[in-house]
Amino acid sequence: MKMQFANRRQLLQKMGAASLCATSLVGGSVFAAVFMEMPQAQKLLLPNADAFQALPLAMDEVRSNAIAKASDTHIPKNFNPQIWRAVQHEKALGWVIADRVIGKYDLIDYAAGFDVDGTSLGMEILAYRESHGAEVRQTAWRKQFAGKKGPSAMRFPDDIRNISGATLSCQHVTEGMQRLSALAMMLAAGK
C-alpha cells in the first residue's frame, strides 16, 4: 500500500464553519505532514458503515480515571478523543475514535476502529510530524492492533512489538491505543 499524502490545503478549506476564522488559520503556522483525512480513515477502519455519527462525550474526571486504571497508562493533559458511531442501515457496527499522542517530541494523530464488542479493528496514522519514528505508519506494525480486545491485550512491547529505532513512537502510540481500547470497552458496555 502506498502511503498517501493528502492535500493540506483541501483540509484547511474544509475547516470552516467560520470562514473568517479559517482565513486566519491559513495564514498561521500549522505544522503537519497529513497522510490521511479522517473520512478516509473511517472508511478504511469500518468499510461496511454507510454513516459515521459524531458522538460527543465529555471526558470528565470519572471517565478519565476509569480509562487510566483500565489501560494502566497516564492520561495526557487535554485528553479528549473524538468518537464517531459507525452505522449501516441504522444498525451500529462499532466506533471510530481519533486521538493524538506525542511521539518523541511532537504530535502523532491517529484513529482506531472498534466493533460493537470493543474489539480493535485496526488503526490508521493520520498525521506525523517528526523526522524519526515514522515507521509506526507501516502496515505490518499497525496490523498488530487488529483483533485485540481490551487494553491488557495490547501491552508494549509484549503484545505490540517494537520497531528498532522508533521505540518512543511505538510505545506512545500503543499507550494511546490502550486508552482508546479502554474507552471502546466502556462504550461497548454502554457506560
Q: Within 48-77, which residues bind another protein (CB under 8 A)? A: 49-56, 72, 76-77
Q: Which three cell numbers stand for residue 166?
A: 522508533
Least distance to another protein from the beta carbon of 136, Å? Answer: 10
Q: Which is nearer to another protein, 1 or 189 (CB)?
A: 1
Burial label for 8, CB within 10 Å (0-12, 13-18, 19+), is middle
CB of 121 to another protein, least distance (A): 16
**Is the preceding peptide bond at 81 cis, omega within 30 degrees of 0?**
no
Quick one: which of 68, 146, 163, 186 contacts another protein (CB under 8 A)? 163
- Alpha carbons 115 and 133: distance in angstroms, whole number: 29
Candidate ranges 17-25, 61-69, 115-123, 183-191; the one touching another protein (CB under 8 A): 17-25
- How big is the site for another protein, counted in residues (CB under 8 A)? 77
Q: Give the x/- contact pattern for another protein in 124-143, rule: CB under 8 A.
A: --x--x-x--xx-xxxxx--
State how far the alpha carbon of 58 is from the alpha carbons of 12, 78, 150, in Å.
26, 12, 21
